[in-house]
Structure 1
Amino acid sequence: MSTIELSGSQYLYAKPEALHSQDHAGLNFVDDGQLLAKVGAVNAVPLLVGEFVQAMHYFPIVFGGPEKTPMAILGMKEGQNLFLKDGKFEAGVYVPAYLRRYPFTLAGTGTDDYVVCIDRKASGFVEGGEGQPLFENGEPTDFTKNAINFLNEFEAERKRSAQFVEELIKADLHEVKHTLALTAGGEQREVIADYYGVSEERLRALPDAQLAEMVRQGAVTAIDAHLLSLKQWDALIARRDNANGEKFSQVKQSFGRKK
């Protein structure tokens, strides 16, 4: 049996387990087409900076928590993904990479190293029988190799995303933003979401040299995508209203913002 000890926890992964050719020699994976919907039945998912331009057409992109992690907002309350239909993501909707890598992931070991893991509680894993084998003759199959390659690409992009957020924090560009629900006549209702977003005023006030460097690094493109994505709040509220037959939210949402 593997003796690798994992550190930390990962959002949506119930039981991360180090992938091992002996421990998982007879393990297969069966994709029933609904796994992404099952694990994606959440209202917020971490997002990579390289996904902003694609994701902005569907979801509000916000920054949540003390670390100001980029997040795609999929619903208005916990456990609500408004982009699921008949047990799957709607056709054509962008699915964040954090979900697409599931049930594989990389986990820390308490050092600078990472180890490939699977969520052993994922519904697609079966012992033998049908599906994609993870190993053959003690070696990873093409299915497993492709999953590992995706993890490596994800990790590289995750580091770039962390650097992007670090630059925003250093430049003090975050501010608390609010989303309001309105009546049909335009009467203001209560704030239904508050979160961290980029301040356009602070961005414009940056020294020319600093702003030019952010443009060179591609940060301004990502910021523009983030700001444009906030227009999706109206579409998200409309989805919620259509799904629930409600006109207005009575719930204030906070995506990791400290009071």
Structure 2
Amino acid sequence: MSNCFILGCTLIFLLVSFVQSEHIYCNYYEYECADGRCIPYTWHCDGFRDCADCSDEANCNGAVNANIKTDFQSGLGGWTQERGDDFDWTLAYGSTPSSNTGPTNGRSGYSDYYVYIETTYTAYGQSARLRSPLLPQSNNLTVAFYYHMYGNTIGTLNVYRKSNVGDELVWSRYGNQGNTWRNAVVQLSHTGYGDNYIVFEGISGSSYTGDIAIDDIYIVDCTTQSFNCPNGMCISNNSQCDGFNDCGDWSDEQGCGKCLYCTYTRNVLIE
């Protein structure tokens, strides 16, 4: 065994020991994120992602909080294919199989996943419905999402607010909207009574050039304690200027001062 190998192993051991000894433990009034970051304990299970890994919102009892993002990178993300419709939404990346319809990639690039309705083998007017996780009642719910409706025989994309009193149509588009991803923001004054869901319904057109896609769905409960992102998403004011891309477009980090290299300890910015 060479002296270089022994020296290398010793250096690695010392480095690991140093990193372990540098672990910062949170105070009793703080919550420790899974990545070691400390946040005020009152931010735990408050409906906002304050830990970069979202560990502060894991294992919280009750309905899913109304501050969620679904980008379909890990499947449907808690969304459910509804029973009783005619066919299902399809998870995909890259182009849809049919020519002259559908996106060529997800909103963020070729490897970005999205969901769409494949209309090659469907009849005119058939529908596919995708339902959100259970949401709490709210007076200030915002639904923001991206949609792609390109093709000569595009049908209809509907968004419903679903509760125990039925489905309420809150947004709709029909026909060819061009070969591009478009952003939509829907403000809801109340999410109904009892169980609450958001439902996306894609309705097929008359031919195979009717593929409709959706991506990057935000469902957020906007309050006076929220920072309103330009894309319609709301985040906790605590998440503004914290060095993390909480809005998804870095708008929550604009105007926060120049920071060429930053590290974070107990929410304190060190340049």
Based on CA coordinates, which of the two structures has the bigger radius of gyration? 2
TM-score (norm 2): 0.21
Q: Counting strand residues as a fraction of each chain, which structure ranks higher?
A: 2
Q: Counting helix residues as a fraction of each chain, which structure ranks higher?
A: 1
